[in-house]
Each structure stands twice: as structure tokens, then as C-alpha cells.
Amino acid sequence: MVRTDSISSQPTSSNTQYDISSYRPVETEQQPEAMQPGPNRADNINAGDLFLSRAGLDQGQILRSQLNAQVQDGGTPDQNGGINLDDIQGVRGNPNVTPEFKQAVREMADRLGTRPEYLMAAMSFESGGSFSPSAVNSRSGATGLIQFLPSTARGLGTTTDALSRMSPVEQLPYVEKYFEPFRGRLSTLEGVYTSVLSGSPRPNSNDVLFRSGSDAYTQNRELDFNGDGQITSGEATSPVAARLFGGVTRVQQRLQGLGFDPGTADGIFGPRTSRALADFQRSRNLPATGLIDEATFREALDAQIDD
């Protein structure tokens, strides 16, 4: 029930129908709070309301670092630690991700008070790495860069059919319109992704989404990696965070090369990968969270692989 990287490694042109239902089996009423009556949906959740199986694992320190450097194109992350947009999973070589698209995302991020890499990672995850405006979930009808549900599209003054016929750049204003009610609460990747997941930003990685005893928790209990009976925003954001660094498979392969055992490099962030990460973190005197974060990944990139 956990989405894998391998599904999302094949970019498609914007006029290609891209069905992601095989790894998005549970549906959500995805609407910004400004379009909803009553309490935030994240506060009143059930298993039928969410794409619950989209989630993976991350504590979100990746966000806490804030990636303060200017994001640049080309090559490797810049010397100040910024994330290169081309290194995000699904971006490099993707005909849907043009220089115009990336510039528009940078400008949108500035207006929304977030980071362009967070928006790009969320769109990569939601579109299965295709960045196709016509990416569709055949079960729910969710369509596009952030998988607009039909009801969400209507609330934004359009339809999923119209969205699917747009170019990636043409669809970005609707992405911005969706996030606009959350301005000021999108400073972390958790805030960005949980806005899409449940229509309510939970920017702190320790914010609890699901508790033991609820249908939502039962549906996603494999995400409770520390066994504390709750699933946090950070845990649910993990597969999105991994995309900032090329995907879960890349993390697993790097751990293998460094002599740690995440199991098969299958793109699924599970307990074994988490334990391997914790072991690596201990070996580098980092907090042994067993979770993906920027400090851990950069340490892994810098570490010497033994032959």
C-alpha cells in the first residue's frame, strides 16, 4: 500500500494520460479550509477520506534546516546547502519541467512564503514523478500536478477535464490558488504536503495526524515506526522528503554502499530502512531518529564508500 519510486521514474508529456490509481488506492476530500464548512478536515478524519496509503516516513528535520541558500539550477546542490531543483526526483530530463515551469514555481513559492523545492517535491509525489497536468487517478478522478479532486477543481472555478487539457505552466495558477489560503503556514515541507493530503497544513513534523484506535491510524499503522500509537505529519511526509534527494531508492542504495542494511532498494520506506538510517546516524553522531533529514542525507553523500 506504500507507493514506490519505480512507478514514478518515467516522465510523460503533458498530453499523455497517466493513471496513478495503482498506488493511490484511498481517496480524500481535498479542499482548502477556506472552501470547507466546519472544522479542519485533518481534525475530523476517517479512512475513507484520505489518500492514506500515500504516506511514508520522515520526521521532517529536512524542513527544520529551512534550506536557507538560494536554489540554483544545474549540477549539484550549491555551496550554501540549497537544494537543486534538477535533483528532485522526476525533474531532470522531464519535458514537462521546462525552465519556464521552474521559474514560475520559484515565483509562486515566493508569493506563498514557501520554498520552490517543497512545491516541486509535492508535485513530483502527487503526479507520480511525471509532472503531467493530466496525471489522473481513475478511482477518484483526481487530476493534475497536485491531484485536484473534481470537487476541489470546482471550488477553484474549473474542472478536472479543463485542468487535464492545460500545459504544466498553465495549471500552476490553480496550484497557487489551492495553496493561497495557507499562506504563512507553508514554511516546511510538512506544511505543504499535509495541505494537499488533508486540506489542512500541519507544518510541525511532530504534529499528530492519526492516533491509535482511529480508522485512519489502522489504515496506516505501518507508518508508526516508533510504535508510540500515533502517526505524525513528519512520518506522513517522508516519501515526499525523499524526493528532494532523488527518492527513497537513492537513499537505500547509498546506505547499502556505506555498509548498512536497508533491505532491497525497492523504493519503499519501511522499518528496515528506518533502522538502517538510525544505525548510520549513530555512526556519525547524529540524532538516531531513523528518519530522512537533510543533515543525514548530506552526511551520507559525503561519507566514503568502502570497496
Does 76 fall in a domain?
A: yes
Q: According to the model, what pLDDT value does residue 139 have?
A: 83
Does 185 fall in a domain?
A: yes
Residue (of 238, 223, 255, 224) closest to 293 by Cα position: 238
Does 305 fall in a domain?
A: no
Does 194 fall in a domain?
A: yes
Does 299 fall in a domain?
A: no
Residue (of 54, 59, 69, 43) closest to 21 by Cα position: 54
Which whole number is the average pLDDT over 101-129? Answer: 96
Where in the sequence is the domain holding 177, given as residue range(s)?
5-241
**pLDDT for residue 54 is more than 50:** no
The Cα 224–Cα 213 span in angstroms is: 13
78-82, 169-173, 220-224: range with lowest mean pLDDT: 78-82
Q: How many domains are contained in the chain?
A: 1
Does 223 fall in a domain?
A: yes
Per residue in 160-211, pLDDT (tens digit) is 999 999 999 999 999 999 999 999 999 999 999 999 988 899 998 889 988 9
pTM exceeding the 0.75 threshold for the entire prediction:
no
Per residue in 42-52, pLDDT (tens digit) is 333 222 223 32
Does 94 fall in a domain?
A: yes
Instruction: Report whether 183 contacts 112 (CB < 8 A).
Output: yes
| Higher pLDDT pick, 245 / 279 | 279
pLDDT tier, 3 (very low <50, low <70, confident <90, very high otherwise): very low
| Angle formed at CA 187 by CA 170 and CA 230, multiple of 5 degrees | 110
Per residue in 123-161, pLDDT (tens digit) is 999 999 999 999 999 888 999 999 999 999 999 999 999
Q: According to the model, what pLDDT value does residue 32 have?
A: 46
Q: What radius of gyration, in Å, describes the C-alpha atoms of the chain?
A: 18
Which whole number is the average pLDDT over 85-96? Answer: 96
Q: According to the model, what pLDDT value does residue 61 have?
A: 34
| Higher pLDDT pick, 295 / 25 | 295
**pLDDT for residue 227 is more than 90:** no
Q: At which residue does the C-alpha cell 510538512 appear?
A: 190
Does 268 fall in a domain?
A: no
Nine cell digits for residue 66 = 529551512
pLDDT tier, 245 (very low <50, low <70, confident <90, very high otherwise): confident
